[in-house]
């Protein structure tokens, strides 16, 4: 048989894979059986299987056979404009970190779950409370020196966004007002719109959300709750100081307010980090932000907690430097929301919500009514990864990876006003005055690079049409590309920013 003949057979198998008739994970026949079915020689079947492997369509496992390989999807949404010919698009919009070793670690944890008895149990429907094993594992994950998470008050959602939606739905009725940082996680804007919640932008500074802004907004018209990111704020990269956390907790008690604390990125910044330990530095020569406790904040730190019997713990650890979660300082009026999408992988994840005892029932009801509960298979898989050491090893690798990417950022964007925590997977870039964010977005897209403009994070003032003027800034999500494409993309963006908008226009 000629080379064209075996390639034609390989093309037919490839077409079956592309059309979905053969799906990722499907096992191909043995080469002998394949040869019989196609009436070809065994040697020809061997050449077909080698060709499929060369194309990256199959993978062979010694002693098990040949399987259809999972497709390599292009990351993220399409760019605003087509990338130039020969350019590989680089997505700096979406931020799901992946490290090389994680697939092998996750696969090993899944193997016991695929036994028929274990799989049958994992496929049963679950209540928001999940399973005792899952609650114990998640409570251990969320606990630290200042916070002891009670497993009985943990609830599970399909992902972090669903946990967030359940928490907000349980606290803020349609038409109610939710205070948020003036630049906030864009998904919160979408959740609020769907729940009929009015967002109220609140001023921040180098230490995070300003309590005086909370009080002023509440005086203008009562707020029902706050949504806040105290650690590694997305997009600004600020980590709230210990004094500011204590003052904010006191403000919640003073105003009888609830808070939803988003800790999704906090795993990169253990215990909120020590004061003065590089939190939210100007990574590439810009102004420093969030540099640590200000004396005034420490002096103003109040000793009040939210309504309830439990007193707030002291804002510092034995060393006087830790930054405890807001849920530790205001335990009776804070719902702590976390997710494993960033720690592990977005395709098989779970959202976590830790509520005060008196509110657990309302949170459960909101998760059930929204259809936001976690699936049994995902929860069982995550529980295994939490308890077998996989998550700990993956998190350690991601912390190292984030540090490498931040070093590339500092090197390639030296001299620009870039604000980023050296532990984070993102950065906030204040563009040169000659650039508008939207113009820079389009220029980057012409080079095959997607970035996110500041307007995507800006919250409109009440009654305003749109978010109003946003600063000329973009957020760079650093997790997606491999290190070399990331470095090249940052070099390209630096060259663009050094030039003028007219330089970037197509011929």
pLDDT at 85: 47
- Element housing 208 (H / E): strand 208-209
| pLDDT of 232 over the 80 cut | yes
DSSP assignment string, 149-205 = --GGGEEEESSHHHHHHHHHHHH--TT-EEEEESB--HHHHHHHHHHTPEEEEE-EE
| pLDDT of 311 over the 80 cut | no
- Please report which confidence band the pLDDT of residue 468 belongs to, taking 50, 70 and 90 as the band edges: low
Q: How many CB atoms lie within 10 A of CB 293?
A: 22
SS3 143: coil
Classify residue 436 as exposed, middle or buried by CB count within 10 Å of its CB (0-12, 13-18, 19+): middle
pLDDT at 146: 92
Instruction: Answer yes or no: are the C-beta atoms of 142 and 336 closer than 8 Å.
Output: yes
SS (H, E, C) 329-393: HCCCCEEEEEECCCCCCCCCCCEEEECCHHHHHHHHHHHHHHCCECCHHHHHHHHHHHHCCHHHH
> Please, what is the angle between helix 483-498 and helix 390-412, to 10°?
30
Which segments of 47-173 are extended strands (E)?
A: 58-61, 65-68, 90-91, 154-157
CA distances from 450 to 91, 183, 411, 441, 494 (A): 5, 20, 20, 7, 14
| pLDDT of 35 over the 50 cut | yes
Q: What percent of the chain shows pLDDT beyond 70?
A: 82
pLDDT at 2: 60
- Please report which confidence band the pLDDT of residue 285 belongs to, taking 50, 70 and 90 as the band edges: very low
Q: What is the pLDDT of residues 382-427, one digit of tens each?
A: 999 999 999 999 999 999 999 999 999 999 999 999 999 999 999 9
Residues 6+ apart with CB under 8 A from 112: 118, 384
Average of per-residue pLDDT across 215-238: 97
Which pTM value belongs to this model?
A: 0.76
| pLDDT of 164 over the 80 cut | yes
124-133, 427-436, 455-464, 486-495: range with lowest mean pLDDT: 455-464
* Token representation of residue 56: 């990256």
Q: Which carries the bigger pLDDT value, residue 290 or residue 356? A: 356
Q: Can you tell me the distance from the alpha carbon of 411 to that of 430, in angstroms, rounded to the nearest whole number?
A: 16
- Please report which confidence band the pLDDT of residue 361 belongs to, taking 50, 70 and 90 as the band edges: very high
Q: What percent of the chain shows pLDDT beyond 90?
A: 64
Average of per-residue pLDDT across 346-360: 94
82-96, 260-274, 291-305: range with lowest mean pLDDT: 291-305
pLDDT at 249: 97
pLDDT at 133: 95
* Token representation of residue 280: 């939210």
Average of per-residue pLDDT across 6-16: 88
| pLDDT of 309 over the 70 cut | no
59-68, 125-134, 221-230, 427-436: range with lowest mean pLDDT: 59-68
Strand arrangement of the beta sheet that strand 417-419 belongs to = 417-419, 426-430, 473-477, 452-453
Classify residue 18 as exposed, middle or buried by CB count within 10 Å of its CB (0-12, 13-18, 19+): exposed
First vs last C-alpha separation in the chain: 51
> Distance between alpha carbon 81 and the CA centroid of its chain, in Å?
26
214-218, 291-295, 484-488: range with lowest mean pLDDT: 291-295
> Distance between alpha carbon 24 and the CA centroid of its chain, in Å?
26
- Please report which confidence band the pLDDT of residue 272 belongs to, taking 50, 70 and 90 as the band edges: low
Q: Can you tell me the distance from the alpha carbon of 363 to that of 361, in angstroms, rounded to the nearest whole number?
A: 5
- Please report which confidence band the pLDDT of residue 469 belongs to, taking 50, 70 and 90 as the band edges: low
Q: Can you tell me the distance from the alpha carbon of 166 to that of 235, in angstroms, rounded to the nearest whole number?
A: 23
pLDDT at 62: 62
* Token representation of residue 307: 């309504």
pLDDT at 1: 55
What average pLDDT does the structure give for the chain?
84
CA distances from 401 to 8, 98, 345, 379 (A): 43, 9, 15, 26
449-450 and 90-91 strand pairing:
parallel
The region that residue 308 occupies, defined by phi over 0 for left and psi between -120 and 50 for alpha, beta otherwise, is: left
- Please report which confidence band the pLDDT of residue 5 belongs to, taking 50, 70 and 90 as the band edges: confident
pLDDT at 174: 94
Classify residue 186 as exposed, middle or buried by CB count within 10 Å of its CB (0-12, 13-18, 19+): middle
| pLDDT of 86 over the 70 cut | no
Average of per-residue pLDDT across 269-293: 42
Instruction: Answer yes or no: are the C-beta atoms of 405 and 486 closer than 8 Å.
Output: yes
């Amino acid at each position: 048989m000629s080379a064209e003949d075996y390639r034609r057979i390989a093309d037919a198998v490839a077409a079956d894979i592309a059309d979905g008739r053969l799906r990722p994970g499907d096992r191909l026949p043995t080469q002998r059986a394949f040869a019989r079915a196609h009436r070809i020689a065994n040697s020809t079947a061997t050449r077909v299987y080698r060709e499929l492997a060369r194309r990256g369509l199959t993978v062979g496992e010694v002693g098990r056979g040949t399987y259809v390989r999972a497709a390599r999807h292009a990351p993220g949404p399409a760019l605003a404009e087509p990338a130039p010919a020969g350019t590989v698009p680089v997505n700096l919009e979406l931020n799901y970190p992946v490290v090389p070793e994680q697939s092998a670690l996750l696969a090993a944890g899944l193997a016991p779950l695929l036994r028929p008895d274990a799989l049958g149990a994992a496929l049963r429907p679950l209540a928001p409370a999940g399973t005792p094993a899952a609650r114990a594992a998640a409570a251990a994950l969320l606990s630290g020196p200042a916070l002891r998470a009670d497993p009985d008050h943990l609830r599970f959602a399909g992902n972090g966004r669903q946990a967030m939606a359940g928490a907000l739905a349980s606290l803020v009725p349609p038409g109610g007002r939710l205070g948020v940082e003036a630049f906030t996680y864009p998904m919160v804007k979408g959740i609020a719109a769907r729940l009929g919640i009015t967002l109220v932008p609140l001023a921040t500074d180098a230490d995070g959300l300003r309590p005086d802004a909370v009080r002023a907004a509440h005086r203008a018209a009562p707020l029902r709750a706050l949504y806040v990111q105290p650690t590694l704020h997305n997009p600004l990269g600020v980590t709230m100081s210990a004094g500011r956390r204590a003052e904010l907790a006191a403000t919640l008690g003073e105003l009888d307010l609830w808070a939803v604390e988003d800790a999704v990125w906090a795993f990169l910044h253990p215990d909120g980090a020590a004061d003065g330990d590089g939190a939210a530095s100007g990574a590439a020569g810009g102004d420093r932000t969030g540099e640590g406790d200000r004396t005034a904040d420490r002096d103003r730190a109040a000793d009040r907690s939210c309504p309830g019997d439990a007193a707030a713990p002291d804002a510092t650890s034995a060393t006087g430097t830790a930054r405890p979660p807001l849920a530790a300082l205001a335990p009776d009026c804070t719902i702590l929301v976390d997710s494993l999408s960033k720690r592990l992988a977005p395709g098989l994840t779970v959202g976590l919500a830790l509520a005060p005892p008196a509110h657990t029932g309302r949170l459960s009801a909101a998760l059930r009514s929204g259809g936001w509960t976690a699936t049994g298979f995902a929860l069982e898989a995550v529980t295994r990864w939490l308890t077998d050491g996989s998550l700990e090893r993956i998190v350690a690798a991601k912390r190292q990876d984030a540090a490498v990417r931040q070093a590339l950022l500092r090197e390639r964007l030296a001299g620009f006003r870039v604000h980023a925590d050296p532990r984070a997977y993102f950065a906030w870039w204040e563009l040169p005055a000659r650039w508008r964010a939207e113009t820079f977005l389009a220029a980057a897209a012409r080079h095959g690079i997607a970035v996110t403009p500041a307007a995507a994070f800006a919250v409109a003032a009440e009654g305003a049409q749109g978010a109003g003027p946003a600063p000329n800034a973009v957020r760079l999500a650093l997790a997606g590309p491999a290190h070399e494409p990331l470095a090249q993309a940052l070099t390209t963006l630096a060259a663009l920013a050094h030039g003028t908008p007219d330089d970037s226009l197509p011929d």
